[in-house]
Structure formats: structure tokens, C-alpha cells
Structure 1
Amino acid sequence: MSKKNRPPQDVDALIQRLQADFAAMPPQFQIGARYLIDHPHEVPIASMRTLATQAGVLPATLVRLAQSLGFSGWTELKAVFVQSLHASPMAYTDSAKAVLKGRNKPLAMLQRAVQAQAQNVSKIAEQNATSMAQAVDLLVKAKRVYVAGFRASHAPAFTFYYLYRLFRNPITMLRAEAGTLEMELRALEAGDVVVLVAFAPYSQEIVRVYEAALESGCKVIALCDSQVAPIALEANCNLIFSTEVPSFFPSSTAAVALVEGLIEQILARTGKKAVMDLQSMENQLHQTGYWKR
């Protein structure tokens, strides 16, 4: 079986295949494919007939769509989504119980953690081989940029905001302080670029920003842990990072590394003006912002 006809083995690969083949699909296949892309979490729990009704196609269309992707039928395609559901991250408390089992071997725990972090970071270039250039292009051309990341995702989001402001403006950090998120979202306008950072479990705030950005006609760049993350399904560009480590909490190390790589490429594309603005900011920081003996 050729690589093209080999059925995807995980949801991310399946979504990428649907997106890649979408333009060449018959209209009814496109309707079915769009529904699968937009509602991946419904596939494992609903019948094929129910999904077909909700999508607005015949059940046979979903069968033929599955076969066009290399599956023997709908059941095999659905199994990919079911497998993804079963592979959902454990609750923090369950993961913490697993961590306790290795507490008598702290050095081994640290070594496993470092190895996992290194593996996550090493995947970044391959995961974003084509999407990185697209993200850079959107950001270089943007007149206004907004960035959002809440809870554990705030750190990499703020890193993007801080580094971007060293040589480019304007950029706004959506903070949702004191319940003001809805007021902040009123500023979004068509043509703005909104950078979202999130990994599972996804906060309600980040999904709300994503929805508001789409409603306002903004360009959306999603930095997340999956092509089927709720902020990635209709984003203009997805940048993917891995969060899996043996600890009790998903890791944001690869997310920060991805942000730093993205910022570096934005500066390189912006050219001499970015260097001049950076120098101006750096001079100011050395005069007033850094401690001196």
C-alpha cells in the first residue's frame, strides 16, 4: 500500500489528511470532512447515522469518505477517534500518584523528566516545518497583534508578548483581569492577528477569545498541542508542540521553545528595522530597567 493510500493512524494525521485532500474532494465528501474536522469529539460517542444527519449527508457518504482515505469502512475510521479519546491525559491527581511511586529514586526521576523535555523540544522543527513560515508571514504583515494564554498557558503566551515588544509594536496581551475579558475582546477588528497559546485541558477563556477572533474576522495563529484542539480547528495557522512528561502536570517547555523560535524568525524577516528598534529598547532598559552596581 502506498503512503498516500495508507490510512492515518492517529487523529492529528487524519485531520491533516482531510485538510490536504479537501480541495479535491467531491462536494458531499467536503461536507462530511468538514464535520469531522469541526466536531472530532463527537465521532467516538455518536453513531454514523447520527453524525451523517448532523453533517447533512447520507451515511453512505461517510463510508465512502472513509474508504477514500484508505480505511476499509467507517468503523475503522471511527476507531482512530476512539483511540484518541482513550489517550486523553490523565487527571493531575492520577498522574501525581504515579509520580509518588518513584520518589525514592529522585535522580532517575530527574533524568526521565529531562529526557522527555528534550524529546518534546526536538520535535518542534518537524512538527512545524511548513506552518512556521506561514505564521511568520501573518505576523510580519500584521498591523495589530493580540496574544492570549490563560492558566498554565500564560507563561509561553507572555514570553511571546515580552519578546515581540522588544522590537515590534503594537501588541496587546489579553489578560481577562477582574472579569474584563468581554470588554477587551470588543477591540478586535478584521485584519488583526490573534496569537493563542493553549494545551489540554483547555480553559474556557481561551476558547472564548478564539470564538471572538473568528467572529471579528481576525487572523488566528494557534500554538497548541494538537491539530484538533478547540482553538485549532478554524485557525489560519497551527503551530504544534508536545506536553507529555512523566510528571503530574503537562509541560510548557516545548511551547516556550516554539515561541522563542517564532520570535527569532519574525525578527529575521523584519530585518534592519527590527534591529534598530531592538537597540533602542535595549538602550532604554540598560539606562532604567537593569540594576547597576
Structure 2
Amino acid sequence: MGVIDQLRDRFASLSPSLQQVARYVLDHPNEVVTQSMRNVGLHAQVPPTTLVRFAQTCGFEGWNPFKQALTADMGLASEAGNQYGERARSLLGRARDKQLTAEMFAMQRSNLDVTEQHSAARLVTAAKLLEKAEQVHVMGMRACFPVAFSLVYVYRLFRRSVHLLEGMGGVREMQLRAIDPGDVLVAISFAPYSHETVHAVELARARGCKVLALTDSLASPLSLAADETLLFAVNSPSFFPSVTAAQALAESLLEVLVSRAGPQAVARIESAEGELHSSGVYVQAAGK
């Protein structure tokens, strides 16, 4: 039985103050898993101590374990903690299985649905955070690097003050030194979390820089230190976690940013597109 079902069954036995929390959890599960305990308390009109007592009454050690369980109950639990080799071994002998590819596409559709459910409502808030930044720094290592790169590549079409922290040539520390108060760091990672990305988040916080986390869990070290979090699902029947939903989330964020940016952003995009074509970057179709 999931967390939501347990709350429904136990609701009548809770004290009035705990029923108030339970009612908010049942009515606003998305907000509970994406907002801080302080914000949840404000919206539920109870002090943080009541949230802790509520979680303990539900059988959890504290509020964060309760949120993790609720996150898992809603389909955002990451399977990335499993060993890649072990998961790859489970695929052996399935080369002729016609359901193999169908499982993958079905899981991708599910990941997209879950990601939309939990993050779509937070995109405008995330966009506002980026719009206030003097400079935007984006970091995603290893499997998350393509997401970070494409986010920077497209974002720079209409905003110049966007920088990719890729560390090429061993200059990551030099790039991190450019992070200042008033900036925003967009940190992208899923379990097992990249040490370099977690370090960048810690450094950004120490310098008074805001953090936007794109990650797989509210319990991730990125989310726990972030000002705003956008969650994406990484579940996959294959041996490696999927980043499809992460890419879709980044593209959705860009869509919101452009929609809010106004005519000047459109003019910058048109100018950049014209320069790309005139510079010969693209292959021209025959007869054009």
C-alpha cells in the first residue's frame, strides 16, 4: 500500500492538527514533493514541528524520509542505484524478444508523463529565477552533459550571459571561480550523483549564488541545496538510467523562457539563425 492510500485509511484516526497536514498532502502532493518543509508548513498553516510529528506518526523518522516515500509512491523514485552490470545481465538472452524495444518506449512515455506531472507547474518559477540572474552557469557531467550542453546551446541563441561549466582542459576550477552572488547555477544530475556537480552546488551556495536543480529526487544533494527543483524520471528497462525526460524538461524550460522574453528575444534568435545560415554552418538543400 502506498503513502497516499495509507493516509486515506488512517485519516480518521489522526488528531485535528495532523489531519490538517494530511489533507494538504492529499490535496497537493505535487507541492509537497517539490517544496521545502518551510513552504509546506506555511501553505498547510502548521509549524515545522507538526510536519515532523506527522511524518513520525506515519512511521517515518522525519519529514525528509516521508517526502522520499511520497516521491517514490508518485513514480519519481530512481532505479539508478542498481548496479549497471547486474541490470545489463538481465538483458542477456532477450535479443529476439519482441517486447524488449516496446518496454523501452513504454517506459519513456511513462517517464515523460511523470516528469510533466511533477515539474510542469514549476517551470514558470524556475524561469523567473533564471531571468533575475546576472549570469547563468549550467553544469551536467557524464550522461547529463548532453542535457546541459543543449540547454546552453539553445539558451545562448537569445541570451549571451549563459555559460557551460564543462571543465575542458582541466579548467573547471577557473570556471567555478566566475560564479558570483546574483548568478544562478543550473545543476543537472541523477543517482549516483556526480561529485563534480555536487561540489559546484556547494561552492555556489557558499558564494551566495542561487541554484536551480534538475534532478531525479527531492532527496538528492542537488535538490537539498537548491532554491528551486525540477524533477525528472530516469526509469528504464535497460541497464542505464534514461535521460530522455531530463532533455524534455530542459527543452520545456527553454520554451517557457522564450515565451516570457518578448520581441527582443525573438529578434536575437532570428539574428543568430541568419548568422548560422550565412556562415555556411548548415548544408543547403539542392536548388536553394
TM range (shorter): 0.7 to 0.9
| Local SS of the residue matching 2:235 | coil
Partner of residue 68 from structure 1, selected from 24, 37, 54: 54
Partner of residue 240 from structure 1, selected from 226, 231, 234: 231
**2:185 paired with 1:181:** no
TM-score normalized by the length of structure 2? 0.78
Aligned counterparts of 2:127 and 2:116: Cα–Cα separation in 1: 14
Q: Compute the displacement of 1:140 (Å).
A: 2.1
Partner of residue 103 from structure 1, selected from 76, 95, 99: 95
Counterpart residue type for residue 90 of structure 2? A
- My pick for the range that moved more, 166-175 or 273-282, is 166-175
Q: Compute the displacement of 1:7 (Å).
A: 10
Distance 1:188 1:72, change over 3 A: closer
| 8 Å contact kept, 1:66–1:72 | no
| 8 Å contact kept, 2:155–2:254 | yes
**1:116-144 alpha-carbon deviations (Å, 9 max, x no partner):** 01111122221114321111111223221
Q: Compute the displacement of 1:193 (Å).
A: 1.1
Aligned counterparts of 1:77 and 1:194: Cα–Cα separation in 2: 26
Distance 1:75 1:212, change over 3 A: closer
| 8 Å contact kept, 2:157–2:268 | yes
Distance 1:6 1:114, change over 3 A: same
**2:3 paired with 1:5:** no
| Local SS of the residue matching 1:291 | coil
Q: 1:127 maps to what in 2?
A: 118
Q: Compute the displacement of 1:80 (Å).
A: 5.3
Aligned positions of 1:80-119 closer than 5 A: 89-105=81-97, 107-119=98-110
| Local SS of the residue matching 1:116 | helix
Counterpart residue type for residue 252 of structure 1? V
Q: 2:283 maps to what in 1?
A: 291
| Local SS of the residue matching 1:100 | coil
Counterpart residue type for residue 86 of structure 2? D
Aligned positions of 1:237-276 closer than 5 A: 237-276=228-267
**2:4 paired with 1:18:** no
Q: How many residues align?
A: 256
Q: Compute the displacement of 1:149 (Å).
A: 0.4
| 8 Å contact kept, 1:146–1:172 | yes
**2:178 paired with 1:194:** no
Aligned counterparts of 1:187 and 1:245: Cα–Cα separation in 2: 36
Q: Compute the displacement of 1:111 (Å).
A: 0.5
Partner of residue 143 from structure 1, selected from 130, 134, 141: 134
Q: 1:223 maps to what in 2?
A: 214
Instruction: State percent identity of aligned pairs.
Output: 34
Counterpart residue type for residue 247 of structure 1? S
| 8 Å contact kept, 1:150–1:205 | yes
| 8 Å contact kept, 1:6–1:69 | no
Counterpart residue type for residue 175 of structure 2? E
**1:271-291 alpha-carbon deviations (Å, 9 max, x no partner):** 111110000000011111112
Distance 1:74 1:197, change over 3 A: closer
Q: Runs of 5+ in structure 2 lacking a partner?
A: 1-10, 12-18
Aligned counterparts of 1:15 and 1:265: Cα–Cα separation in 2: 19
